């Protein structure tokens, strides 16, 4: 083969490689960039892993009200309660990573695996964190008005006098309603039974019917019931008193120094969702939740708006998983 033939052969291979690269870039443009630029082009499903009527619904409806316009597509709320939020969360973990299935959830996302060994998903590996959207000011310990206890101290004394006879309602293992009650049990040594529900709303419904004795619940759900005299509030788990109930002591003020809990709410997508879609969703939420009307609307129902970048929320999620594992070990409920 002559030198000229050799050079022609090299040039031919270079042309072939160039064509292959060009075809690859064209395909990616059509299936990657094009897909992202047209997002969304159909309705978005927002899965809530709890029964309808709970605090997460309040957050989800605020998102729906503010994002349907910018996205140009309806956002559809879909309550999938069951197994302490495991059912709904797992549905999102297994959904296509195309940006059309969102998980709007609570801190149960990072605490379930610490308290429940039968979780079919990994809260870190199987999801992409988009943003935290809000947190509440704490869980309120409420009892039925007929309960012969008007303070946390009186409730503890009643429980000790009747070991194993009182029940508390929770939204499932690993939910903050469960964690707060179990912390109280660990701190005081009382024997109180856990009755689990598909969400806070059905738990409160049974408390109103006097079928259970107590529940830790967010103010967004129980404040109107407390004000109407249908439930009796004993304390709040936040670090400070809540302005809506200024006379209600914190759990620490009530003598349980180890209990300080606030709930948070965030948005996740299935793992491998493109960064472009994640950032688009984050950007629209960030814009929407700087609206003074939304901030006031959520503040009035017991929520503080906190919108965090995807990378910050990812780091928070990782840290909170470890924090919940440490807490589970501390109160003797670690399953791993």
Q: pTM for the whole thing?
A: 0.84
Tell me if 162 sits within 8 A of 149, measured CB to CB: no
Q: How far apart are CA 81 and CA 265, in angstroms?
A: 16
In this structure, are residues 245 and 253 in contact, taking their beta carbons and an 8 Å threshold? no
Averaged pLDDT, 99-107: 97
How far apart (Å, rounded) are the C-alpha atoms in residues 271 and 96? 9
- Distance separating the N- and C-terminal Cα atoms of the chain: 69
Tokens 């999620």 belong to 317
Write the pLDDT tens digit of every residue in 279-291. 999 999 999 999 9
* pLDDT tier for residue 37 given thresholds of 50, 70 and 90: low
Q: What is the pLDDT of residue 312?
A: 98
Q: Which two tokens stand for residue 150?
A: 């008007």
> pLDDT tier at 24 (50, 70, 90 boundaries)?
very low
**Span 151-165, pLDDT tens digits:** 999 999 999 999 999
Give the helix ranges, DSSP H, for 189-330. 200-208, 219-227, 275-288, 292-300, 310-330
Report all structural domains of the chain as residue ranges with CATH numbers, in order of start: 44-136+267-330 (3.40.190.150), 139-236 (3.40.190.10)
């Amino acid at each position: 083969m002559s030198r000229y033939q050799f050079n022609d052969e090299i040039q031919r291979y270079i042309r072939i490689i160039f064509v292959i690269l060009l075809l690859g870039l064209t395909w990616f443009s059509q299936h990657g960039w094009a897909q992202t630029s047209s997002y969304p082009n159909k309705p978005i499903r927002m899965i809530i892993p709890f029964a309808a009527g709970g605090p997460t619904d309040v957050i989800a409806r605020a998102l729906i009200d503010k994002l349907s316009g910018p996205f140009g597509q309806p956002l559809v709320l879909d309550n999938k309660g069951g197994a302490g939020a495991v059912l709904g969360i797992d549905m999102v973990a297994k959904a296509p990573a195309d940006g059309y299935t969102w998980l709007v959830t609570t801190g149960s996302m990072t605490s379930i695996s610490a308290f429940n060994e039968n979780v079919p998903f990994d809260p870190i590996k199987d999801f992409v964190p988009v943003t935290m959207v809000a947190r509440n000011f704490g869980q309120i310990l409420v009892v039925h008005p007929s309960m012969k206890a008007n303070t946390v101290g009186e409730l503890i004394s009643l429980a000790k006098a009747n070991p194993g006879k009182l029940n508390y309602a929770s939204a499932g293992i690993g939910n903050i309603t469960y964690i707060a009650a179990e912390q109280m049990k660990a701190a005081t040594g009382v024997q109180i039974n856990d009755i689990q529900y598909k969400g806070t709303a059905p738990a409160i419904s049974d408390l109103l019917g006097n079928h259970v004795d107590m529940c830790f619940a967010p103010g967004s759900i129980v404040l109107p019931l407390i004000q109407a005299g249908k439930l009796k509030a004993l304390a709040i788990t936040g670090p400070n008193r809540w302005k809506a109930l200024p006379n209600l002591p914190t759990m620490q003020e009530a003598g349980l120094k180890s209990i300080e809990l606030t709930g948070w709410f965030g948005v996740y997508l299935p793992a491998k969702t493109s960064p472009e879609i994640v950032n688009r969703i984050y950007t629209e939420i960030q814009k929407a939740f700087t609206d003074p009307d939304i901030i006031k609307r959520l503040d009035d129902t017991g929520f503080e708006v906190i919108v965090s970048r995807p990378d910050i929320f990812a780091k928070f999620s990782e840290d909170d998983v470890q924090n919940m594992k440490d807490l589970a070990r501390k109160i003797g409920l670690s399953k791993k």
